[in-house]
């Protein structure tokens, strides 16, 4: 989850809210790729989640990255809660999941190099401490009472609020991991087309990356339990956003939506002030109960936008949010998929042609079916396996048209980063299927094997 935003002055009129989003527009030559991924840390000896403090802890990992690999510390209330270096940052999710938010990069070759370097650095520190990290969409064994809480004020507030608005908010916060990619747009019209494609095809990404069939030491019956969790989190700030597909959608309509999402907090002087359930519209009028008489800054608006959790969202860029955390090949495959679909106009038009006839009910049904059944999902005449194959063909064509070379020219484009997904489509097996086969086969129902065999 996001760190506090900065750099925004007072909001003097509501038009500034849409202007803030519009300021993200960039010409295609300036488009970049920002990949984020989360992973669970655990103590190798006990397989328990990492506490915040101690010899084998989240803090010890952060200190190791700081001291041995040149990361700058980020603190809150005297606690080390993140790191920064070269345009990237490492941050903590509520239950200690370690997140890399990568720098904005020009191509997937650079993205994969960044991921590999980060995982190598983390492994270097983890091995010395006797801890491990694993990429899964949901914690396979741990219960809520097993999880630590990271010392971040934002998380304390959110934890208290989650049970008021849904049944699975705390499960999402403490026991799930995702991989996402952040992409640019050229104009309002380009944003609209990309966001519509992103939302419509997010279930395909959920199916291809489904990697969380276990929870609390047993199979759940779902291929992506992480995705299932999001369906019962908070209806006010999650979902497939049917209004995005309505005529006239643009930055202003997103502002209207965001203003109706209840607030979590206001960040002031290094602390999070409780504004749970309060209205940003009231804040604009100086009537926020948490800060009577005070009006917001653009930094407050940027913070508020980070508390909205649909399957795809816009800030000054678009975030693709539908995929489970997973093995390293899929950490590179997710940005390749979405860059292929959206950074070449021919591919983007083909993707829109594929989805533009779907109804809101079909899009929502695909979302549900993807979590439940992965590539075997079917909604009416829409069969997920066939959709995934067609989507991969479009993405591959888009990456080929980009023709971004790698490895000193030995790789003519970025298409090979889709290989892991192509293998899934050809075999019909996604990561969740492979995990279930191991569970019912040589693991004989013992999930402790997952740590040794699937850790980074």
Task: At 81, give phi and psi (nearest 5°).
Answer: -125, 5
- pLDDT surpassing 80 at residue 196: yes
Q: Say how many C-beta atoms besides its own lie within 10 A of residue 54's C-beta.
A: 12
Scanning 130-250, the segments in alpha helix (DSSP H) are 153-165, 169-175, 188-209, 225-230
Strand, coil or helix: what is 305? helix
- pLDDT surpassing 70 at residue 216: yes
Strand, coil or helix: what is 372? helix
- Alpha-carbon distance of 388 to 129, in angstroms, equals 41
Which pLDDT band, with edges at 50, 70 and 90, does 409 fall under? confident
Mean pLDDT of the chain: 97
Which pLDDT band, with edges at 50, 70 and 90, does 7 fall under? low
Return the CATH number of the domain spanning residue range 15-35+143-454: 3.30.590.20
- Alpha-carbon distance of 117 to 132, in angstroms, equals 16
- Which CA distances in Å does 47 have to 51, 112, 276, 448? 12, 28, 35, 8
Q: Which of 311, 331, 107, 330 is nearest to 201 (CA)?
A: 311
pTM value is 0.97
Which pLDDT band, with edges at 50, 70 and 90, does 8 fall under? confident
- Which CA distances in Å does 335 have to 98, 321, 415, 455? 19, 11, 11, 21
- pLDDT surpassing 80 at residue 151: yes
Which pLDDT band, with edges at 50, 70 and 90, does 270 fall under? confident
DSSP assignment letter at 307: T
Which pLDDT band, with edges at 50, 70 and 90, does 4 fall under? low
pLDDT tens-place string over residues 363-392: 999 999 999 999 999 999 999 999 999 999
Exposed e or buried b for every residue in 163-176, given b needs 16+ CB within 10 A? eebbebbbbbbbbb
- Alpha-carbon distance of 124 to 184, in angstroms, equals 33
- pLDDT surpassing 70 at residue 324: yes
Mean pLDDT, range 194-210, rounded to an integer: 98
- pLDDT surpassing 70 at residue 232: yes
DSSP assignment letter at 95: T
Which helix (H) or strand (E) element contains residue 109? helix 108-129
- Alpha-carbon distance of 282 to 292, in angstroms, equals 10
Mean pLDDT, range 320-338, rounded to an integer: 97
- pLDDT surpassing 90 at residue 359: yes
- Alpha-carbon distance of 234 to 167, in angstroms, equals 8
Domain boundaries, the chain: 15-35+143-454
Q: What tokens were used for 116?
A: 């590999």
The dihedral built from the CA positions of residue 384, 387, 391 and 392, taken in this order, carries a sign that is: positive
Q: What tokens were used for 167?
A: 């049944």
Q: Which of 36, 28, 24, 25 is nearest to 404 (CA)?
A: 28
Which pLDDT band, with edges at 50, 70 and 90, does 311 fall under? very high
Give the pLDDT confidence score for residue 24 in this predicted structure. Answer: 98
pLDDT tens-place string over residues 82-139: 999 999 999 999 999 999 999 999 999 999 999 999 999 999 999 999 999 999 999 9
Give the pLDDT confidence score for residue 2 in this predicted structure. Answer: 60
Q: Which of 212, 228, 209 is nearest to 429 (CA)?
A: 209
- Alpha-carbon distance of 110 to 38, in angstroms, equals 19
Task: At 264, give phi and psi (nearest 5°).
Answer: -105, -45
Q: Which of 168, 131, 139, 102 is nearest to 44 (CA)?
A: 131
- pLDDT surpassing 60 at residue 60: yes
Give the pLDDT confidence score for residue 43 in this predicted structure. Answer: 98
């Amino acid at each position: 989850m996001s760190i506090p935003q900065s750099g925004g002055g007072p909001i003097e009129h509501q038009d500034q809210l849409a202007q803030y989003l519009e300021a993200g527009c960039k010409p295609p030559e300036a488009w970049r790729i920002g990949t984020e991924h989360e992973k669970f840390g655990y103590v190798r000896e006990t397989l328990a989640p990492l506490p915040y403090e101690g010899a084998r802890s989240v803090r010890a990992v952060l200190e190791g990255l700081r001291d041995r690999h040149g990361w700058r510390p980020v603190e809150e209330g005297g606690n080390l809660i993140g790191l920064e270096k070269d345009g990237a940052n490492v941050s903590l999710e509520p239950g200690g999941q370690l997140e890399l938010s990568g720098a904005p990069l020009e191509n997937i070759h650079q993205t994969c190099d960044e991921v590999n370097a980060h995982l190598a650095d983390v492994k270097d520190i983890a091995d010395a401490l006797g801890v491990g990290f694993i990429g899964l969409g949901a914690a396979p064994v741990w219960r809520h009472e097993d999880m630590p809480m990271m010392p971040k004020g934002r998380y304390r507030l959110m934890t208290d609020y989650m049970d008021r608005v849904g049944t699975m908010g705390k499960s999402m916060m403490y026991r799930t991991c995702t991989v996402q990619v952040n992409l640019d747009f050229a104009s309002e019209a380009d944003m609209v087309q990309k966001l519509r494609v992103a939302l419509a095809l997010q279930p395909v990404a959920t199916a291809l990356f489904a990697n969380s069939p276990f929870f609390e030491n047993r199979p759940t019956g779902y291929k992506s339990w992480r995705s299932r969790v999001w369906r019962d989190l908070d209806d006010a700030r999650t979902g497939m956003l049917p209004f995005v597909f309505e005529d006239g959608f643009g930055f202003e309509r997103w502002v209207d939506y965001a203003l109706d999402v209840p607030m979590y907090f206001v960040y002031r002087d290094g602390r999070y002030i409780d504004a749970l359930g309060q209205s940003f519209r009231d804040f604009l009028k100086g009537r926020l109960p948490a800060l009577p008489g005070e009006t917001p800054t653009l930094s407050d608006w940027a913070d508020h936008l980070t508390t909205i959790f649909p399957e795809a969202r816009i800030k000054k860029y678009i975030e693709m949010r539908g995929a489970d955390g997973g093995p390293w090949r899929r950490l590179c495959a997710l940005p390749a998929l979405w860059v292929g679909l959206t950074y070449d106009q021919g591919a983007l038009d083909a993707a829109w042609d594929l989805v533009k006839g779907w109804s809101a009910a079909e899009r929502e049904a695909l979302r549900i079916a993807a979590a439940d059944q992965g590539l075997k999902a079917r909604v009416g005449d829409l069969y997920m396996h066939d959709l995934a194959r067609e989507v991969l063909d479009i993405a591959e064509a888009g990456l080929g048209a980009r023709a971004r070379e790698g490895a000193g020219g030995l790789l003519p484009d970025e298409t090979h980063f889709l290989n892991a997904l192509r293998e899934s489509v050809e075999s019909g097996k996604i990561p969740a299927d492979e995990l279930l086969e191991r569970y019912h086969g040589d693991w004989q129902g013992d999930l402790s094997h997952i740590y040794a065999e699937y850790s980074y």
